[in-house]
């Protein structure tokens, strides 16, 4: 007869097995169905000690004896499982009693916070212009303030009292939402603008009609093109509307607070069918505070508007099938900016063995990081 310690050990093994089954249901809810009675049904024809598939008819004495032994064994199994179920149910009740005050405390925690602290939490959790520019490969989350304002009346009041949440204006948003963000951002707060060149046309034009009169409040500007257009200079066309003379009003083309400009052109033809830097649009607007210029698949033209830039970063996607590539001409805008304190250029999608068709400036160094060739330009 097995000892009590042996039975305890076997019960622990059974509990461990049941726990692993439960974990599978929790961790893989889509792949493992919730356990049902039929899932654990031991069919007579699959019971490992059943010697016959004949459910009806005569069976010999040996098989009858085996059936009685199996019935007795299953009775003990059911009794053991009932004991396990009782223990698990008691444990479940005890854990629930322990969780109730914790759940209550967490639920009341938000209610115990002051509106000022909730507003501060909102400011830390909702990304705004600079944070969106730091992570350009992630989709903008300009709609998060709206989601927060829909949680409860208190959250809505706190969100409406936090102008910083409403300072990111996304060109993809509807006009009503854009106007609501402007109204809730206050009168003097900095604005962070996201304009999509691939939607260029009446939609982008309407967005500019809303934003350009507020140009004096712009602090960051992200201009993107997702490749939906085959026209290589679609980004230039949009930049011309922003920094050119389309509106005609000098006040609408003065950007006293704009500190960071990021141009991201990921179109199919953005890198090698683009207009050369010499023929690119040169901004006419005044951008006296511009400090950071970042480009992805786009090479800016030399312009006095960039004279205040201290940091220039450029990413050039370049497949190996590219014709001979004259890098110095592409970097002419970079090399002519004598005030730069930080400048860098990286080339992606190319192996070191394929560098023979690229002519690099002699003053720069080449390093390969994470599958990319990175060009670190020295400061002058």
- Answer whether residue 156 is part of any domain: no
Task: Single out the residue in 112, 136, 163 at which a domain terminates.
Answer: 112
Segments forming the whole domain that contains residue 327: 190-376
pLDDT 10s digit of each residue in the chain, 380 long? 556 666 677 777 777 777 776 666 655 554 444 455 555 555 555 555 554 555 556 667 777 787 787 777 778 778 878 888 888 899 899 999 999 988 888 777 777 888 899 999 988 888 776 566 555 444 445 578 888 898 889 999 999 999 999 999 988 888 899 999 999 999 889 999 998 876 555 667 788 889 999 999 999 999 888 655 455 567 888 888 888 754 445 445 789 999 999 988 876 554 444 555 556 677 878 899 999 998 888 878 778 888 888 888 887 776 555 555 555 555 554 555 446 666 566 655 544 444 443 444 454 444 444 444 444 444 44
Task: Say how many domains are in the chain.
Answer: 2
Question: Quick one: tokens of 80?
Answer: 């053991």
- For residues 260 and 354, state if they share a domain: yes
- For residues 88 and 200, state if they share a domain: no
- For residues 195 and 105, state if they share a domain: no
- Answer whether residue 128 is part of any domain: no
- Answer whether residue 175 is part of any domain: no
């Amino acid at each position: 007869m097995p000892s009590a310690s042996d039975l305890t050990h076997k019960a622990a093994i059974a509990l461990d097995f049941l726990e692993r089954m439960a974990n599978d249901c929790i961790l893989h809810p889509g792949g493992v169905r919730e356990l049902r009675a039929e899932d654990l049904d031991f069919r007579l024809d699959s019971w490992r000690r059943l010697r016959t598939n004949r459910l009806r008819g005569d069976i010999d004495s040996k098989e009858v004896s085996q059936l009685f032994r199996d019935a007795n064994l299953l009775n003990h199994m059911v009794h053991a499982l009932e004991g396990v179920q009782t223990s698990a149910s008691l444990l479940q009740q005890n854990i629930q009693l322990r969780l109730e005050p914790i759940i209550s405390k967490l639920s009341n925690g938000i209610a115990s916070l002051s509106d000022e602290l909730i507003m501060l939490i909102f400011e830390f959790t909702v990304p705004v212009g600079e944070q969106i520019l730091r992570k350009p490969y992630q989709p903008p989350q300009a709609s998060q303030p709206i989601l927060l304002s829909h949680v409860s009346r208190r959250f809505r009041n706190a969100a409406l009292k936090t102008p910083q949440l409403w300072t990111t204006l996304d060109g993809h948003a509807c006009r009503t939402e854009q106007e609501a963000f402007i109204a809730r951002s206050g009168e003097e707060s900095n604005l962070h603008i996201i304009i999509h060149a691939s939607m260029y046309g009446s939609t982008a034009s309407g967005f500019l009609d809303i934003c350009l009169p507020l140009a004096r409040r712009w602090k960051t500007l992200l201009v993107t093109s997702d490749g939906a257009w085959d026209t290589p200079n679609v980004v230039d066309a949009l930049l011309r509307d922003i920094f050119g003379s389309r509106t005609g009003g000098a006040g609408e083309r003065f950007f006293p607070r704009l500190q960071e400009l990021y141009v991201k052109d990921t179109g199919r033809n953005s890198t090698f069918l683009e207009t050369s830097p010499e023929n690119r649009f040169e901004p006419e607007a005044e951008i006296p505070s511009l400090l950071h210029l970042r480009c992805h698949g786009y090479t800016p033209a030399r312009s006095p508007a960039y004279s205040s830039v201290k940091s220039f970063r450029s990413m050039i996607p370049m497949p190996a099938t590219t014709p001979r590539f004259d890098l110095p001409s592409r970097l002419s805008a970079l090399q002519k900016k004598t005030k730069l304190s930080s400048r860098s250029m990286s080339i992606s999608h190319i192996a070191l063995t394929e560098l023979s068709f690229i002519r690099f400036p002699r003053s720069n160094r080449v390093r390969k990081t994470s599958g990319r060739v990175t060009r670190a330009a020295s400061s002058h």
